[in-house]
Amino acid sequence: MSELDKDNLRFICHGAREVLELSVGAVHIEKLINALERAVEEDPGLAFDLAKSLVESICKTILSDRNDESKDKLLELPKLVKYTTKQLNLIPEEHLNPEVEQSFQSVINGLITTIHGLCEIRRLEGTASHGRNGYIKSLEPLQALFAARVADAIANLLFKTHKNNLTSSKIPYYEDNPEFNIYLDSLYECSIAGLPYKTSDVLFKIDQQAYINFLQEYLSDLSVNPEDLSNEDEKE
């Protein structure tokens, strides 16, 4: 071990575990979290690899949620994080104080700089990434703990911001449009193997883009309010 008390090194990804509560079914992220928590104490070198993988997985999940997968597989982690933060609008567009905006941008730049450092540590110390001299002493768990905490904080910030501004995201949620769902179900019947199903629910699950297209048409039709039209007729 090291000079540190073993109990002080029991790391829990509190931030990333909050992410799990917001992303039911994210099995891969859960596996990364469990592995990272173990590695901090048992295999510090591996913890650097897992910290990087956790942030990478969070970014790709966010972009996938937003139907934006055109670049996520092509970017190295620092650029991937920078690209993801741009999609999240971490700096509110309506903020009128330029000094606050500049300060917040400095925070984001610091976040990206931290990611650069994390990748460099991973390159130098990540046991799963490169062949190493078998007699080289690995970094102490304290350094692995720092890398894990950085990744945990970044994962929490990005994903919770993503969830908080989903109204601007391209992905809808089925429960958000009950009136449209009833409308769609009334237009089309759906049965599979003789069993009845809700057309809206089936369409949302098997072809989300088609669901979005129907929803947009429905909302577009609603933009012309019949009451407004009748009022205009009365004026004429």
pLDDT at residue number 228? 45
pLDDT tens-digit profile of 72-123? 667 888 888 888 888 887 766 666 577 777 787 788 888 888 888 877 877 7
In a 3-state reduction of DSSP, which class is residue 191?
A: strand
Element (H, E) at 34: helix 27-42
Q: Based on the domain organization, do 214 and 105 belong to the same domain?
A: no
State residue 122 phi and psi, 5-degree precision. Answer: -60, -40
pLDDT at residue number 29? 92
Q: What domain count does the chain have?
A: 2
Q: Based on the domain organization, do 179 and 147 belong to the same domain?
A: no
Token pair of 75, please?
């970017």
Positive or negative, the Cα torsion across 211, 177, 89, 54? negative
Positive or negative, the Cα torsion across 54, 60, 62, 65? negative
Q: Based on the domain organization, do 11 and 107 belong to the same domain?
A: yes
1 belongs to a structural domain: no
Placement of tokens 């809808």 in the chain = 172
- Can you give the pTM of this predicted structure? 0.62
Expressed as residue numbers, the domain containing 46 is 6-168
pLDDT at residue number 135? 52
In a 3-state reduction of DSSP, which class is residue 126?
A: coil
Q: Based on the domain organization, do 28 and 121 belong to the same domain?
A: yes
Domain limit, last residue, from 138, 168, 198: 168
Round to whole Å and give the CA distance between 191 and 197. 6
Q: Based on the domain organization, do 52 and 70 belong to the same domain?
A: yes
pLDDT at residue number 3? 37
Ranges in the chain, pLDDT < 70 = 1-9, 24, 69-73, 91-96, 125-140, 166-172, 223-236
Give, in order, the Cα–Cα distances in Å from 21 to each of 56, 166, 231. Answer: 19, 16, 49
Round to whole Å and give the CA distance between 152 and 169. 23
pLDDT at residue number 115? 80
Give, in order, the Cα–Cα distances in Å from 139 to each of 6, 10, 124, 135, 154. Answer: 16, 17, 10, 13, 22
Q: Based on the domain organization, do 69 and 147 belong to the same domain?
A: yes
Q: Based on the domain organization, do 215 and 186 belong to the same domain?
A: yes
Round to whole Å and give the CA distance between 146 and 114. 11
Domain limit, last residue, from 120, 147, 168: 168
Domain limit, last residue, from 135, 168, 201: 168
